[in-house]
C-alpha cells in the first residue's frame, strides 16, 4: 500500500489517499482502478479502505481510498465540513491523480461509495464521464437525510438555526461541531436510542472499528448546503453508467433501503443491478463477513465486466 497526497487545485490543500495494489503488481502494466469513498463521518482506513478497497485490490484492481476534504488526514479548514459540493469535487481530483499514474488505465475507472459516500459516488458519476462503472454500498442520499431525520423533519427550522450559528461564529463565538452518533453504546442506551442504524453506527465507530481519524461529526453552521442538495437530481437524464446498488433488507433511520430502491428505479443506466442482502442491516455491510461476502460476490464480477479487468 502507498499513501499519497493529492493536490486539491480548487482549494489549495491536499487530499490524503491510500493506494492498494493487486497481487503480483507490475508497474509496467496497465490496470483498472476503483475510487473508494468512505461513509459520512468515517475515514479511508475504515470500511472503504480496509474492507472493500482491500478486497478489490486482491481481485486485481488498483483501489484508491481517500479522505474527503476537511476530514481524516486530508487538509482544509475549518475541520469537519460536510458539504456535498466539496465532497463530490474531491472525486475529480482523485481521478486527476489516477490520470498521472503510468500503471492506471484512465479509460477503466470505477467508483464505489459506502453510506453517504455512496450518495456522493452516484452524484459525481452523473457528470464525471471518466467514471465507467458505479457501485453503491448501502448508499444514502445525504441531502434527503438532512431534510428529514437529521433536522427533526423541520428543514426550515434547521436552516434558520444554522444561519444564526454561522452569524455567531463570524462574530467570534466557538464553533459548533455536532456528533453524528452517541459517544458509546451505554450512552446510546441511556439516551433511549432504539433505531437499528444509530445503534449500528455506535457499535461500528465506538467498538468494532475505532479510528482517531474518523470524525463522526460535522460543523453545524456549514451544513446548510446539504439541506438543499439532492444526490439523485437528474438521475433520469445523466446517470447512464453501469450501476450496482447493494443494500440490506433491514431498514433503519438513515434510509439506505429506500434510497437504494429509489435510485435503482430512477437511473437512466441501461445496465443496473439491485442486490438486497437478506437478514442484513446498514452497518453489517460495513465489515461483517457474511453480508460483505455476499456483496463482493456480485461486486467483483460487476467491475470485471464493466471495466474489462
Q: Is the pLDDT of residue 2 over 90?
A: yes
Q: Which candidate, 171, 182, 175, places its Cα nearest to that of 219?
A: 175
Taking alpha carbons only, the member of 74, 72, 78, 75 closest to residue 213 is: 72
CB count, 10 Å around CB of 53? 28
Percent of the residues in the chain that have a pLDDT greater than 90, as a whole number: 97
3-class SS shares of the chain: helix, strand, coil, % to 5: 40, 20, 40
Rounded Cα distance between 148 and 129, Å, is 31
Q: What is the DSSP letter of 49?
A: I
Residues 150-166 have pLDDT tens digits of 999 999 999 999 999 99
CA-CA distance, 133 to 129, in Å (whole number)?
Answer: 10
68: left (phi over 0), alpha (psi -120 to 50) or beta: beta
pLDDT at 233: 98
Mean pLDDT of 159-187: 96
Looking at every residue in the chain, the average pLDDT score rounds to: 97
Structural domains in the chain, sorted by start: 2-151+225-306 (3.40.50.1820)
- pLDDT at position 279 over 80: yes
Q: What is the DSSP string of 53-96?
A: IHHHHHTT-EEEEEPPTTSTT---SSS----HHHHHHHHHHHHH
Q: What's the N-to-C CA distance of the chain in angstroms? A: 20
DSSP-based three-state secondary structure for 26: coil
Range in 10-14, 100-104, 271-275 the model is least confident about: 10-14
What is the three-class DSSP state of 248? strand
pLDDT at 255 exceeding the cut of 90: yes
Residue 181 to residue 125: CA distance in whole angstroms: 29
CB 141 within 8 A of CB 121: no
Answer yes or no: is pLDDT of 309 > 80: no
Query: What are 14-73's pLDDT values in tens digits?
Result: 999 999 999 999 999 999 999 999 999 999 999 999 999 999 999 999 999 999 999 999
Residues 259/145, Cβ–Cβ less than 8 Å? no
**Cα(214)–Cα(114) distance, integer angstroms:** 14
Integer Cα distance of 18 and 130 in angstroms: 20
d(CA 162, CA 159): 5
Could you tell me which of 235, 68, 265, 228 has the C-alpha nearest to residue 142? 228
Give the number of other CB atoms < 10 A from CB of residue 176: 16
Q: Is the pLDDT of residue 9 over 80?
A: no
DSSP letter (8 states) at residue 250: S
The CA distance from 110 to 122, in Å, is 11
117, pLDDT greater than 90: yes
| Entry pTM | 0.97
pLDDT at 7 over 90: no
Residue range 88-114: mean pLDDT, rounded = 98
Q: Whose grid coordinates read 508497474?
A: 27
For position 281, what pLDDT does the model report?
A: 98
Cell 444509530 belongs to residue: 198
d(CA 254, CA 119): 12
Task: Give the C-alpha separation, 112 to 135, whole Å.
Answer: 5
Res. 260: pLDDT tops 80? yes
Question: For the chain, how many residues are written?
Answer: 309
Amino acid at each position: 500500500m502507498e499513501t499519497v497526497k493529492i493536490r486539491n487545485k480548487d482549494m489549495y490543500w491536499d487530499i490524503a489517499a491510500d493506494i492498494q495494489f493487486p497481487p503480483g503488481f507490475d508497474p509496467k502494466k496497465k490496470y483498472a482502478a476503483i475510487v473508494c469513498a468512505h461513509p459520512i463521518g468515517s475515514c479511508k482506513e475504515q470500511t472503504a479502505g480496509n474492507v472493500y478497497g482491500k478486497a478489490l485490490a486482491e481481485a486485481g484492481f488498483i483501489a484508491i481510498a481517500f479522505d474527503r476534504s476537511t476530514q481524516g488526514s486530508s487538509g482544509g479548514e475549518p475541520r469537519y465540513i460536510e458539504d456535498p459540493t466539496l465532497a463530490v469535487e474531491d472525486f475529480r481530483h482523485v481521478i486527476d491523480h489516477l490520470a498521472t499514474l503510468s500503471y492506471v488505465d484512465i479509460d477503466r475507472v470505477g467508483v464505489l461509495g459506502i453510506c453517504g459516500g455512496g450518495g456522493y459516488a452516484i452524484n459525481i458519476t452523473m457528470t464525471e464521464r471518466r467514471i465507467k462503472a458505479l457501485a453503491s454500498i448501502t448508499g444514502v442520499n445525504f441531502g434527503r437525510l438532512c431534510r428529514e431525520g437529521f433536522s427533526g423533519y423541520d428543514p426550515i427550522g434547521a436552516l434558520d438555526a444554522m444561519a444564526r450559528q454561522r452569524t455567531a461564529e463570524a462574530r467570534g463565538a466557538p464553533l459548533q461541531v455536532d456528533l453524528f452518533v452517541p459517544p458509546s453504546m451505554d450512552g446510546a442506551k441511556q439516551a433511549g436510542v432504539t433505531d437499528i442504524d444509530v445503534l449500528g453506527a455506535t457499535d461500528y465507530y465506538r467498538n468494532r472499528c475505532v479510528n482517531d481519524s474518523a470524525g463522526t461529526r460535522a460543523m453545524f453552521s456549514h451544513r446548510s448546503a446539504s439541506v438543499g442538495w439532492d444526490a439523485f437530481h437528474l438521475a433520469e437524464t445523466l446517470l447512464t453508467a453501469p450501476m450496482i446498488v447493494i443494500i440490506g433488507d433491514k431498514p433503519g433511520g438513515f434510509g439506505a433501503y429506500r434510497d437504494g430502491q429509489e435510485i435503482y428505479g430512477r437511473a437512466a443506466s441501461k445496465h443496473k443491478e439491485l442486490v438486497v442482502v437478506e437478514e442484513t442491516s446498514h452497518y453489517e455491510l460495513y465489515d461483517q463477513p457474511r453480508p460483505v461476502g455476499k456483496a463482493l460476490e456480485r461486486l467483483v464480477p460487476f467491475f470485471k465486466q464493466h471495466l474489462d479487468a
